[in-house]
Amino acid sequence: MKGDSQNIHKSIIEKSIAGNALAQEQLYHCYAKAMYNICRRMMGDEEEAKDILQDAFIDAFDKLPSLREINTFSLWIKRIVVNKCINALRKRKLDTTELHDRYDVGDEVQDDFEYTNYRASQIMEAVDHLPEGCRTVLALYLFEGYDHREIGQILSISESASKAQYSKAKARIRNQLLQKVQHYV
C-alpha cells in the first residue's frame, strides 16, 4: 500500500514538472499545511506566513524542472520555504544581539518544569511573542533540525550567538508560561 501512495505522489510530481496545473494544485495541497507551519513558526505572523508560503510555491513551481531527484521533493520544498523565511527576516534587519547584552540567562527556570500541562496554542503564543532573533533560531533548531553551526551560517551570526539566542528563547518561553500559571493561581 505504501508503494502505491509513493507511485501516485511521484506521478503528481512528474505531471507538475510537465506543467500540469491540476497536478500542481494537488502537489500544493499535499505540502501546503506542513510548509505553512514552518512559515508560521519562523515568522510569528499569520498573514506574513501565508504570503511567504505562496511565494515559496510560486518559486518552487518555476524551478520544478531543475529538481534532480523526485524522491527529494519534500526536502527541496522545505529548503525553499526556510530560505524564503530567512530572506524575509533579513529584510526586516533581523536583530540577533548577543545574549549578555540584553538578558541574563541565570534567571532561567529549572529544567523539570511541566510543559505537558500546557496546550500547544499557549506555547505557540509564547513563541510568537519572542524577539525575531530568538524565534528564528528556535524555529530552525527545534522545529527544523538545523544545528547551531548551520544556523550561524544561514543567519550570518556566530555559532555562540545562535546558542545564546536559543537559550534566551527557551528562558523567555518558560517565564511567559510561568507568569500565566501564577496569574491563574
CATH 1.10.10.10 fits 99-184, yes or no: yes
Tell me the pLDDT tens digit for each residue of 62-81.
Answer: 999 998 888 889 899 999 99
Residue ranges of domains in the chain:
2-91, 99-184
Mean pLDDT throughout 175-185?
71
pTM of the model: 0.64
CATH code for the part of the protein at 2-91: 1.10.1740.10
Tell me the pLDDT tens digit for each residue of 43-63.
Answer: 888 999 999 999 999 999 999
Question: Is there a shared CATH topology between the 2-91 domain and the 99-184 domain?
Answer: no
Tell me the pLDDT tens digit for each residue of 104-123.
Answer: 444 444 443 444 444 567 77
Label each residue of the chain as H, E or C.
CHHHHHHHHHHHHHHHHCCCHHHHHHHHHHHHHHHHHHHHHHHCCHHHHHHHHHHHHHHHHHHHHHCCCHHHHHHHHHHHHHHHHHHHHHHCCCCCCCHHHHCCHHHCCCCCCCHHHCCHHHHHHHHHCCCHHHHHHHHHHHHCCCCHHHHHHHHCCCHHHHHHHHHHHHHHHHHHHHHHHHHHC
